[in-house]
Amino acid sequence: MPVYSEKVMEHFMNPHNVGEIENADGIGEVGNPVCGDMMTFYIKVDDNRLSDVKFQTFGCGAAIAVSSIVSEMAKGKTLEEARKITPALVAEELEGLPKNKYHCSNLGAQALNKAIDDYLKKLGKEAKTRRRKKDEGA
């Protein structure tokens, strides 16, 4: 059995920001086909800043701890700052992850990035719709 840091155990036993955000501005879902773990991130964006971040994870203890710490790291950050949360930073923040659990830290950063992509995609569509309505005189 892998040996986890105290911080991993803390976030695994008592994960922060678990749940779903109703009417989330962006949703990012990722899965690892090898281990079968799934992670979904929900974000709320205010003024280009992540005002709320929540997650639902179906996976191993490390994946749950990773989700929890990523949500903590991302909250309050601008979208650009949140994009800089890398798997290496996540592992460092968790005071290390066993080698065979390192892939779990990839999922967290990927899910967060996907949620940001989703938000930006929706924003692009909304901006286009607004422009079209304006052009049509609505």
Instruction: Judge whether 101 and 131 are in contact, CB under 8 Å.
Output: no
Q: Is 60 a catalytic residue?
A: no
Question: With CB under 6 A, what is the number of residues at the site for ligand FES?
Answer: 11
Does 35 qualify as catalytic in the annotation? yes
Among the listed ranges 43-51, 76-84, 101-109, 123-131, the one in contact with ligand FES (CB under 6 A) is 101-109
Residue-wise DSSP of 43-62: EEEETTEEEEEEEEEES-HH
Contact status, residue 107 vs residue 90, Cβ threshold 8 Å: no
Tokens of 17: 């920001």
Is residue 63 a contact point for ligand FES (CB under 6 A)?
Answer: yes
CA distance 91 to 96: 5
Spatial separation of the C-alpha atoms in residues 108 and 41, rounded to whole Å: 8
38 lies in the binding site for ligand FES (CB under 6 A): no
CB of 16 to ligand FES, least distance (A): 18
CB closer to ligand FES, 15 vs 25: 15
Q: Is position 60 an interface residue for ligand FES (rule: CB under 6 A)?
A: yes
Chain residue at closest Cβ approach to ligand FES: 35
Q: Would you say 61 or 89 has its CB closer to ligand FES?
A: 61
